[in-house]
Structure 1
Amino acid sequence: GYAAGYYSYKWAEVLDADAFALFRERGIFDSDAARAFRECILARGGTEHPARLYRRFRGRDATIDALLERDGIR
């Protein structure tokens, strides 16, 4: 019910913050990061498990660190 929906919403925030952290690390207009996002996430969506696609893009699983930092908790 509500808890499952809320969890999925929060997990989407984790993925968003963690993916954007790569662009902050490399520079917002880094073409390699953009290409990896396009090829690993956008172009492949729905063809493999999302966690596998994300790992391929980021080189690791998502962590909550970027979200905590963005929200001023850390």
Structure 2
Amino acid sequence: SSIARHYETGQHLPEDICMKLISTRTFRAGSMMLRQMRYAAVDLELHSEYIPGGSESIYDVDQRIGRKTNIIPLLREDKFLCSFSHIFADDYAAGYYSYQWAEVMSYDAFSAFEEAGLDNQRAIEVLGR
């Protein structure tokens, strides 16, 4: 691997360590996706079905959704919503899902280039127009 060298010896980073570093890019990717799904689901429910003064507080809604999306249970004291300004004080009210939707769209667009052949310059140029 030529991405790193020891600062004194100049010895290259061993290949196995380099591969371990690369593998960290996807470590717990599923957990990150679940977290984003929780945020989006809470956002949508609070802006479409939540009844202020009803039987559930906003924290109850978050806890209920968190039980479906979190691998590690949320703490009862978790008041994350107090700082989730995206859905309360920003332009993302009922739109937090757009982060995940944008990711899906980018994967879909990239798959067209993969199907054309990433090493096929002419096909890539035609597709990219």
Structure-2-length-normalised TM-score: 0.27
Higher RCO (CA < 8 A, seq sep 6+): 1
Structure-1-length-normalised TM-score: 0.40
Give the greater-gyration-radius structure (CA). Answer: 2
